Amino acid sequence: MRTQSLWEHTLTFFPQFLAALKEHATPDATVAVIGASDGKFVLPLAAAGHRVIAVERDPLALHGGEVSLPGDEHAHAKGLIERLELEGLRNRVRIVEEDFLRIEPSEMPCDAVWTSCSWHYSANHRHPLATFVDRMQRLVKQGGLFGAEFMMPVNQRHHPVEHYTSPERLGRHFIGDWDVLLTLRTNEFNERAHIGRLEDHTHRMGLLLAARASAAHSYEKKET
């Protein structure tokens, strides 16, 4: 991509999601990105031929504006809309400027859903983690794919907060018609300062990919 996301260099398990998407979905599948930000994941999905639903409520992420960068610097950042237009991808992306938990899942059914480190923000702690997971699951059609990378606890203040979860704890939400395909975790690692965290810091991250059973598979389960 010629237009670079502000989050371009932060660690991600997104390549694993793309590999699973290639296996479980058609090239023109509809993929919802929850917490789309300025398009780190939206643009490559659209460029690959997918129809993308980008859910983001932050006006700065969508429309651009001045941001603070490491080193006490300031810059004008391009928002998601401008970046899509520059790449000629605007017609492949439906932007939903709304709080994700206010959206009725039946209004945006999709073949796959992806989120990256969205639910650990303190503004989201007023809602149980199960609420986020359930709402994301309900977006996914039968035979579809669920992908989430998330922050794991690093220091003591994180441990009482369920939103800093683990692959094992998150996996408990995937029973019945769901099959967990892959879980991964990192050890603690140092990440360079970036927008939103203007000093070097330590993270742990996890990944969970799950597939929702097709209608035929669900029927077979009931029969057995």
Per-residue pLDDT tens for 58-117? 999 999 998 876 667 777 889 999 999 999 999 999 999 999 999 999 989 999 999 999
Are 159 and 193 in contact by the 8 Å Cβ rule? The answer is no
Q: Give the chain's domain count.
A: 1
Query: Does residue 93 lie in a domain region?
Result: yes
Instruction: Give the range of the structural domain holding residue 124, as residue numbers without chain letter.
Output: 14-223
Tell me: the pLDDT tens digits for 39-55?
999 999 999 999 999 99
**Stated pTM of the model:** 0.90
Are 149 and 13 in contact by the 8 Å Cβ rule? The answer is yes
Query: Does residue 6 lie in a domain region?
Result: no
Q: Which two tokens stand for residue 220?
A: 């077979």
Rounded CA Rg of the chain: 18
Give percent of the chain with pLDDT exceeding 70. 91
Query: Does residue 1 lie in a domain region?
Result: no
Q: Name 4's Cβ contacts closer than 8 Å, sequence gap at least 6.
A: none
Query: Does residue 169 lie in a domain region?
Result: yes
Q: How far apart are CA 124 and CA 101, in angstroms?
A: 10
Model pLDDT, residue 77:
85
Query: Does residue 60 lie in a domain region?
Result: yes
CATH code of the domain covering residue 91: 3.40.50.150
Tell me: the pLDDT tens digits for 142-187?
999 999 999 999 989 889 999 999 999 999 999 999 999 999 999 9
Query: Does residue 106 lie in a domain region?
Result: yes
Query: Does residue 153 lie in a domain region?
Result: yes
